[in-house]
Amino acid sequence: GQQVMQIPQYQHVQEGEDFTTYCNSSTTLSNIQWYKQRPGGHPVFLIQLVKSGEVKKQKRLTFQFGEAKKNSSLHITATQTTDVGTYFCAVGGKLIFGQGTELSVKP
């Protein structure tokens, strides 16, 4: 079945540093979604990408979809403590989730 690999599994940064998580698939994707799960919470939908090479921004968050629609990235500029949590990519109709990247931010 469809699988998606997400790296890194963990990322520890100093507040103010940038952060990037990557999602890779061996097959062409029709779309990709990104979710954030705060510690002890539930996943919350952030954004969806559908077009080849698409770039979307939400304040300090930048989402990219690869030209071949096989990979995607989420980049956070100047992290804050409120960014702490696990970021998941998800693909497909019934959603296959990546393993997630857990971000911790040291004040």
Partner 1 sequence: DGGITQSPKYLFRKEGQNVTLSCEQNLNHDAMYWYRQDPGQGLRLIYYSQIVNDFQKGDIAEGYSVSREKKESFPLTVTSAQKNPTAFYLCASSIGQGPGQPQHFGDGTRLSIL
Residues in contact with partner 1 by the rule CB under 8 A? 1, 6, 9, 30-31, 33, 41-45, 48, 50, 88, 90, 92-100
Looking at the Cβ atoms of 59 and 94, the one nearer to partner 1 is 94
CB 50 within 8 A of CB 30: yes
Cα(97)–Cα(17) distance, integer angstroms? 26
Looking at the Cβ atoms of 50 and 55, the one nearer to partner 1 is 50
What is the CA 24 to chain-centroid distance, rounded? 11
Smallest gap from residue 32 Cβ to partner 1 (A): 10
Looking at the Cβ atoms of 55 and 95, the one nearer to partner 1 is 95
